[in-house]
Amino acid sequence: MSGEEAIHQARLGVKYAKGSYLPILGFTGRWFTERIGFESNIRWDATLTLDVPLLEGGSNHAQIQEARSQDIIAELTFARLKRNVDQLVRTAQQDLGISVSESKAYQNAAELSLKNYEAQLKEYRLGRTSNIEVLQVLTNLQEVKRQWVASKYASKLDDVILRISTGEGL
């Protein structure tokens, strides 16, 4: 049940509880297929009742107060839910902004690592550096690329979370 529906139901509960002060008029009708005795010629009867709640004021008042309390609880619960959703959306927006900037930073780092690797490879071919240094630079390049890919998909996940939290869907 949505928060708005819960508030609506609680308000209807208050109206229902206020109705306990009103008298109740009832009607009952019966049809008989067979009767015995002096009523054998009478095939139906009806009863009209009127219940007036004269001495039930205290219990009626308590029921109304309880219904009002339920109404207040529903309103407060809905307000808390709205605050939680707003906070969730703000957090999702911040997370998306951070992950996008992180992804861009890793992309720049990957480009610089590639240039560094190419420079180290040139130096190796000229005999100015060892193969271990080239392998270290290559390992660094692969690690930066891995982090870039991970951050790129983290930003896509944050985008999906933001869309879901705003109710936009996928």
CATH of the domain at 151: 1.20.1600.10
Residue positions counted in the chain: 170
Domain count, the chain: 1
The CA distance from 140 to 130, in Å, is 16
- The answer to which of 51-55, 80-84, 146-150 has the lowest mean pLDDT is 51-55
Contacts of 49 (CB under 8 A, 6+ apart): 24, 25, 26, 27, 28
Across all residues in the chain, what is the average pLDDT?
Answer: 91
Between these two residues, 56 and 99, which has the higher pLDDT value? 99
Percent of the chain with pLDDT over 70: 98
Contacts of 164 (CB under 8 A, 6+ apart): 170
> Residue 144 in contact with residue 113, Cβ under 8 Å?
yes
| Per-residue confidence (pLDDT) for residue 53, from 0 to 100 | 87
> Quick one: pLDDT band at residue 170, thresholds 50, 70, 90?
low
The CA distance from 28 to 46, in Å, is 6
Instruction: Give the structural domain span for 154.
Output: 3-166
